[in-house]
Structure 1
Amino acid sequence: MTATSIWKNNTFMRLFYSYSISMFGRWFDMVAIMILFSYIWEANPIIIALIPVAYALPHAFLSQFAGILADRFNKVKLMLTADIATVILTLTLLTAPNPWIAISIILLRAIFTVIHFPAQQSLIKHVVKKELIMKAVSLNGSVDQLTKIIGPFIGGALASAFTPHLSLLINAVAYFISALILLSVLKQGQKETTTDTHKKEKVPFWQSWKEGWIVVLQSKIIIVSILFSLISFTGVQMVDAQIAVLLREIAPTRPELVGWIMASSGAGALVIIWFLNRMDQLSSYGLILGGSVFLIGAGFGGVGFLYVGVPSIIPVILGFIAGLGVGLFSIGINYILQKETSEANIGRVSGIFSSITSLMILFAPLIGGMLVNWFDTSTVYQMIGIVLTSIGLIGIVLRKVLWGGKITSNKQQTA
């Protein structure tokens, strides 16, 4: 192991452990809430539909402003405050007497967690050497996918065997441990993660917000990358929730296929992330993001051609292909945010990206649901697949036009 190994970066590894533990707790929490609402309280579908809205709404409208805070103040302190608030509100959630009170607590808790993404992106920029950015991003991506597979499985088993409140309690404990790790980073006396703090404090808040958008709009690479990311993200969100409906039509006696496709998708994402982890940098953004959109389109589009009696291996393979695209997208956009911003503005740019993608979580599933009502489910999957694969191919073929001929990984955008 070389001296420049990411594993030798004590500050990043502490942040990584904090992030990993909190992510596992988050998935325990999400499964517990779904079981609590659906089986314990037997809430009606409208109330259940408000759960993802409560999670996403604060991120959609507050992430841009959280990014400003991440650029101005100590990122570790901000994340520590958010973790402590999450612990308190999760413990409060344990005492919620009905779904409406629980929804209100979930919404309030989501407001505090908004700071995590821009602050985390900014911290990576500050504490990780440029040549190790790819390692840091891929490690975090691996945790994302592993927790999506393992967290719901274990959390669901515990909630079913005992009570969903146990999984909620585990989430509170996870965030408490995460907060202790962040506190150790502060006590360790690492360098202040704000740059030119006094100068920043003189800039009015709204001017700082406007400067973040100027950075985005003046960078062709960032604009094109965000647009391609939103295309793939929107495509996934439009039809992701409809997979159970489609499989119910073509394989009504095999409900296990839903879980198998989800697991194979996570496996595909892990495989591509582990492959990218062996690389030091990405030399072609067009190949990465164009390829991600193409693979997602191929996977989801292929699902639209499934038929009654289809062998189980075929949807599993299609899920794996879509997962490869999701993994490419996840690593690609996070790497680009790191490389095409400066330490002074990465928080704001990351917050803008998080805000836009969270808006898609609010609207894309509704659009997908309306399309399924107008057409049949298979046709919608086929249409989404054709559109995404076509756009992905355009990105690959025209990558030099869209992103430029040569990627300058040391490029710094300043507000």
Structure 2
Amino acid sequence: MKNKTLPTLWNNKPFLRIFSSYTVSMFGRWFDMVAIMILFSFVWQLDPLYVALIPVAYALPHALLSQFVGQFVDRFNNITLMAYADICTAILTIFLIFAPNHLVALPLILMRAAVTVIHFPAQQSLIKHIVQEQHIVKAVTWNGTVNELSKVLGPFIGGILAGYFSPGLCIFIGACAYFFSALIIIQLRKRSEFQKPDAASHPHSNVSFWKSWKDGWVAVLRNYKLKWFFGISLVGLMAIQMMDVQVTVLLRSVAPDRPELIGWVMSGSGFGALSAIIIINQMNTVRFYGVLLGISYVLLGAGFIGFGWLYLGVPTYIPVLFGIIAGGGIGLFTIAISVTIQRETSKENIGRISGIYNSISNTVVVTAPLIGGLIVSVWSANVIYLNIGMFLLIGGFFAMLFLIKIEKQDTISN
């Protein structure tokens, strides 16, 4: 009998198209993200509170819709949804070029984010159905690598272009990237019809949405290790997100004539995260994933403390170095949470539990920057970075010891 299975991931033509589309769209996203930050901080010279609304506009639709959109994805052709989402995003991005002020720009950013909510569940569903089981990890890993590379190269190139030309050029490039992403993936529309998930065959198809949602929460609250990992990670995420976007305010005060420094620091952060992921991938095993979460906070704390020490006229390499250190913490944080979810869930509830965490974490992303903007308006960004950094540094050490104790207890009981 002829073997119809694909020998390697790179022989899987549908996956290659999806991967190419994802790559183009991710680079476009980071190109215009750095341009938007430059617009708000350097061109329009807005207060820290308004700057803090940028991540709120990006995250709010995900916080509100991420637990609901999965069922919507199951009812329609995923390729068509993703292509239309990219086209709508490109159109809204072009409108963003002509935004005269933040009062127009923020609603456009919010609408774009609402359109892109469809991408994550649709892409995960497609990968699950077109990639062979033995290639799933490689497919997800490659997507993660592209995400981190785009964080390195996108802000670096975008920062240079926005600094020497205009932020509008970067936003236009981002719009073109979304259009190209749609063109790449739309070719799969006919082939994807037979890959469309069959909702009727789903084991929970006869269970109401609210019952399924409730069961997911019960699974989280009854799992002692998962509950503590989620709680500690969300506290740390709150501290991180309070100050993440305020780096633009800090750099504006220490390097007012170097707006491109924002892109370089963001690239340094992406490089640090990518390096951390590569190092962990080279390890055969990690016994306690609480160690990863604790070390991630220690690195983030060290990077934030370094930002707190920045001064007017600081050499470029210093904030970039601290960005790399903090980025390493972000990479370890991402790995620790993803692995914990994979290890502590079953095939039947991983989607619901992942959706719950994604919804809560995006709620943190929405609220924390507002708090950060308020406190930076009262005190200086340097002082807040120092204090948040110390909290993460000390808290990370104790969190690591506590989570290791929980994992050891769980290992003994099993």
State the TM-score, normalizing by the size of structure 1.
Answer: 0.78
- For structure 2, the 5+ residue unaligned runs are 1-5
How far apart, CA to CA, are the structure 2 residues paired with 1:6 and 1:283? 29
**Which residue does the alignment assign to 2:302?**
298
1:165 Cα deviation from its structure 2 partner: 4.9
**Which residue does the alignment assign to 1:224?**
228
Mapped pair 1:150 → 2:164: no
What aligned pairs does 1:382-393 form with structure 2 within 5 A after superposition?
A: 382-393=386-397
1:344 Cα deviation from its structure 2 partner: 4.6
The answer to whether the Cα contact below 8 Å between 1:159 and 1:165 also exists between their aligned partners in 2 is yes
Q: Describe the shift of the 1:279–1:362 C-alpha distance in structure 2 as closer, same or farther (beyond 3 A).
A: same
1:21 Cα deviation from its structure 2 partner: 1.0
What RMSD in Å do the two structures reach over aligned CA positions? 4.0
Mapped pair 1:355 → 2:359: yes
The answer to whether the Cα contact below 8 Å between 1:296 and 1:321 also exists between their aligned partners in 2 is yes
Deviations 1:312-341 (A, max 9, x none): 665544332222111111233234444544
State the TM-score, normalizing by the size of structure 2.
Answer: 0.78
3-state SS of paired residue (2:282): coil
Match of 2:273 among 269, 273, 291: 269
Mapped pair 1:236 → 2:240: yes
What aligned pairs does 1:251-262 form with structure 2 within 5 A after superposition?
A: 260-262=264-266
**Which residue does the alignment assign to 1:410?**
none
How far apart, CA to CA, are the structure 2 residues paired with 1:178 and 1:27? 14
Q: Describe the shift of the 1:212–1:4 C-alpha distance in structure 2 as closer, same or farther (beyond 3 A).
A: farther
Q: Describe the shift of the 1:274–1:74 C-alpha distance in structure 2 as closer, same or farther (beyond 3 A).
A: farther
1:62 Cα deviation from its structure 2 partner: 1.5
Mapped pair 1:322 → 2:332: no
The answer to whether the Cα contact below 8 Å between 2:155 and 2:264 also exists between their aligned partners in 1 is no
**Which residue does the alignment assign to 2:3?**
none
1:23 Cα deviation from its structure 2 partner: 0.8
How far apart, CA to CA, are the structure 2 residues paired with 1:98 and 1:378? 27
1:252 Cα deviation from its structure 2 partner: 7.7
**Which residue does the alignment assign to 1:30?**
33
How far apart, CA to CA, are the structure 2 residues paired with 1:167 and 1:308? 27
The answer to whether the Cα contact below 8 Å between 2:57 and 2:109 also exists between their aligned partners in 1 is yes
The answer to whether the Cα contact below 8 Å between 1:80 and 1:182 also exists between their aligned partners in 2 is yes
How far apart, CA to CA, are the structure 1 residues paired with 2:255 and 2:164? 28
How far apart, CA to CA, are the structure 2 residues paired with 1:338 and 1:4? 26
What aligned pairs does 1:190-229 form with structure 2 within 5 A after superposition?
A: 191-193=195-197, 196-197=200-201, 200-229=204-233
Report the residue type matching 1:16 in the other structure: F
The answer to whether the Cα contact below 8 Å between 1:137 and 1:331 also exists between their aligned partners in 2 is no
The answer to whether the Cα contact below 8 Å between 1:28 and 1:155 also exists between their aligned partners in 2 is yes
Report the residue type matching 2:300 in the other structure: I
The answer to whether the Cα contact below 8 Å between 2:234 and 2:361 also exists between their aligned partners in 1 is yes
Report the residue type matching 2:26 in the other structure: M
1:288 Cα deviation from its structure 2 partner: 1.8
> Which moves more between the two structures, 168-177 or 95-104?
95-104
Mapped pair 1:85 → 2:88: yes
The answer to whether the Cα contact below 8 Å between 1:261 and 1:315 also exists between their aligned partners in 2 is yes
**Which residue does the alignment assign to 1:170?**
173
How far apart, CA to CA, are the structure 1 residues paired with 2:393 and 2:180? 43
Mapped pair 1:60 → 2:56: no
Q: Describe the shift of the 1:23–1:125 C-alpha distance in structure 2 as closer, same or farther (beyond 3 A).
A: same
The answer to whether the Cα contact below 8 Å between 1:137 and 1:334 also exists between their aligned partners in 2 is no
Report the residue type matching 1:271 in the other structure: S
How far apart, CA to CA, are the structure 2 residues paired with 1:94 and 1:256? 19
**Which residue does the alignment assign to 2:190?**
187
